[in-house]
């Protein structure tokens, strides 16, 4: 374990963009310039959806723009060169099969089989120490909603729910057998109660010795600090470990719109400042309870990352302690990921992959989220342009 804590400088763009050549960096500059205009993003998303509906040949255009920047390939084989390059500079990968919006049992079975393949691949590959999936990769969204609301399921839905649980269990069991942490992402609040309950059952079974099953808490929700506290008490009383991934949240506009439509109080913090305060409190809470909890910190926020780094240092916890991981999305916040990796922390990139046409819904959501996160696109652009200027000056 590395007890020495090297300083982390998020302004070091030479380290941040060390894997990007000048051509790739200029393309990133163009892409984030486009993403800085919400009107262009809305038009682009509408065009992609229209083209998909009419089976237009748009995959070459998507590939050379957003796909190559935010995704590491269409297949596992495609991803390997990218994973190896990241690993060489101290950054691990979390492969994310980013197929969304499926509805049939066959599609859910296929997603499970893909996850099992990913577990087998990751178990033999030091580049990929963690796996991830979304709850709705394994079952219908509306079924989660009904289950969470306590609505009586039909006999057909009961069978469907048991099959969904079986998919969860088979993936968690396979990951546990390889001692691979598995992250289960959070989704919209009105389906999350059922997902939380299901992940809790997986923790009780597979987290007896260490945290291998991780749930996700979105801290833009006003109730998530209480959720973390209750979860820890259950773990202490029942003798299991808690794995938790902390994020700010990804469905803010949808959450507020639904709350307004159905006339209930919004579950989302009123301001970004309140979300930031919630998030940092959650970071401190988990890092103060590492005897029973493990943390995957999914954030593009430098202040929150610095808080975690300083807490580890002040608590004399090794920078590469296996209970603490940092993660950012591929194609974003390289100044955080690569500088953390260079300093010896457990840095990872979320690495989306899948057939281009199948990944378009994910890419569309990613583009929209970039425009809704205050300052995110501007920060990316400023760092890219700083590095382009540095390279030009260093040649002179």
Hey, where are the domains in the chain?
Answer: 70-355
Dist. CA 190–CA 258, nearest whole Å: 10
User: Cβ distance 31 to 66 under 8 Å?
Assistant: yes
Note the pLDDT of residue 396. Answer: 47
Q: Which CATH number fits domain 70-355: 2.40.50.140, 3.30.460.80, 3.40.640.10, 3.20.20.220?
A: 3.20.20.220
Structure confidence at residue 197 (pLDDT): 98
Residues, the chain, total? 396
How many angstroms separate the CA atoms of 180 and 117, rounded? 13
Residue range 55-78: average pLDDT? 86
- Three-state DSSP class for 163? helix
Kindly report, residue by residue over 73-124, the tens digit of the pLDDT.
999 999 999 999 999 999 999 999 887 777 899 999 999 999 999 999 999 8
Determine the straight-line distance between the first and last CA of the chain, rounded to whole angstroms.
42
Instruction: Give 218-245 as a DSSP string.
Output: ETTBTTHHHHHHHHHHHHHHHT--EEEE
Q: By three-state DSSP, how is residue 304 classified?
A: helix
The answer to whether residues 135 and 191 touch, using CB atoms and an 8 Å cutoff, is yes
Summarised one tens digit per residue, pLDDT across range 358-373 is 888 888 877 776 665 5
- Of the candidates 97, 98, 106, 215, the one whose C-alpha atom is nearest the C-alpha of residue 160 is 106
Predicted TM-score (pTM) above 0.85: yes
Secondary element (H or E) of residue 314: helix 302-314
- Residue 221, Ramachandran bin (φ over 0: left; ψ between -120 and 50: alpha; else beta): beta
Report the alpha-carbon distance of residue 27 to residue 34 in Å, rounded.
Answer: 11
């Amino acid at each position: 374990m590395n007890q020495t804590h090297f300083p982390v400088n998020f302004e070091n763009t030479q380290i941040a963009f060390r894997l990007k050549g000048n051509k790739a960096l200029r393309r990133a500059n163009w892409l984030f310039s486009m993403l800085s205009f919400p009107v262009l993003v809305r038009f682009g998303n509408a065009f992609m959806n229209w083209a998909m509906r009419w089976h237009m040949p748009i995959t070459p255009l998507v590939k050379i723009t957003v796909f190559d920047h935010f995704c590491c390939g269409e297949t596992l084989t495609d991803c390997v060169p990218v994973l190896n390059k990241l690993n060489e500079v101290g950054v691990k990968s979390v492969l994310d099969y980013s197929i969304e919006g499926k509805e049939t049992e066959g599609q859910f079975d296929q997603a499970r089989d893909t996850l099992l393949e990913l577990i087998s691949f990751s178990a033999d590959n030091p580049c990929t120490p963690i796996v991830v999936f979304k709850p709705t990769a394994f079952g219908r969204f509306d079924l989660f909603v009904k289950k969470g609301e306590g609505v009586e399921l039909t006999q057909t839905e009961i069978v469907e729910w048991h099959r969904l649980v079986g998919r969860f269990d088979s993936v968690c069991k396979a990951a546990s057998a390889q001692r691979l942490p598995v992250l289960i992402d959070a989704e919209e609040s009105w389906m999350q109660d059922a997902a939380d309950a299901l992940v809790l059952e997986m923790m009780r079974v597979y987290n007896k010795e260490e945290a291998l099953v991780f749930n996700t808490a979105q801290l833009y929700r006003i109730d998530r600090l209480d959720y973390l506290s209750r979860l820890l008490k259950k773990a202490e009383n029942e003798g299991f470990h808690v794995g938790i991934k902390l994020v700010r949240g990804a469905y803010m506009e949808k959450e507020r719109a639904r709350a307004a439509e159905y006339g209930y109080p919004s579950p989302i913090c009123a301001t970004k400042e309140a979300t930031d305060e919630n998030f940092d409190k959650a970071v401190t809470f988990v890092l103060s309870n590492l005897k029973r909890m493990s943390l995957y910190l999914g954030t593009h926020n430098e202040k929150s990352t610095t808080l975690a780094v300083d807490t580890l240092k002040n608590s004399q916890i090794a920078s590469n302690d296996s209970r603490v991981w940092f993660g950012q999305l591929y194609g974003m916040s390289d100044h955080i990921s690569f500088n953390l990796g260079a300093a010896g922390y457990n840095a990872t990139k979320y690495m989306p992959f899948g057939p281009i046409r199948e990944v378009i819904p994910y890419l569309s959501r990613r583009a929209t989220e970039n425009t809704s996160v205050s300052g995110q696109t501007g920060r990316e652009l400023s760092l890219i342009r700083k590095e382009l200027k540095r390279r030009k000056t260093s040649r002179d």
